[in-house]
Amino acid sequence: MKKLFQLSALAGFCFLLISCKQDCPEPPKDDGTKATMEANKKLAAGIFDVFNTGNTEGIEKIIAADMKENTPDPNDPCPDKVGPDKFKCIVASYRGSFPDVKVVAKVTVAEGDMVVVWGEWSGTNTGEMMGMPPTGKSVTQPFVDMFKCKDGKITEHWGIADNLAFMTQLGMIPPMGEEAPKDAKKKGK
């Protein structure tokens, strides 16, 4: 009796499989989500390539015309610009202050329409920065960038970086536990 039940159950299961193969809808195939996430990762990589080369030609293919910058920056070199024009201005500002800037993405993760990159950038401050003369010092600054992508372009950006370490490496503020140089107050005026 037990074997008859098992055979009946197996036959019923096989019948379902055979009939579903003809009548049941197939499970959804890969709808491009993985491909889209990979394409979005390439958009983020394209941003870093522009920083590394300084070549902003074609940036309109990567950044939406109305891209929203969500990173608070009191020293924004181009507060009245948006989209590709803002990005071009930011690249020119960074490369003007750090002509040898090198951006390296260490980890890139994509989920849905978002891409998050953890990396670091480095360079030597040989140009004016935020109205301050060049220090000639090299810096390495870790960062996290988050990009929202839609229709093959970056539409929003959020970024965070260790600005305290950045300013310390440039000698603009003393390392933790040390006093500021006596002439630091004079430089700040």
Give pLDDT tens digits for 79-135. Answer: 899 999 999 999 999 999 999 999 999 999 999 999 999 999 999 999 998 888 999
Which region, left, alpha or beta, applies to residue 56 given φ > 0 means left and ψ of -120 to 50 means alpha? alpha
Domains of the chain: 33-176 (3.10.450.50)
Give the separation between CA 170 and CA 167, rounded to whole angstroms. 5
Look up residue 171 and give its two tokens: 């000698």
Mean per-residue pLDDT over the chain, rounded? 82
Look up residue 185 and give its two tokens: 């107050």
Average pLDDT over residues 17-36: 48
pTM, two decimal places: 0.75
| pLDDT of residue 26 exceeding 90 | no
162-165: list long-range contacts, CB under 8 Å, 24+ apart: 165/141
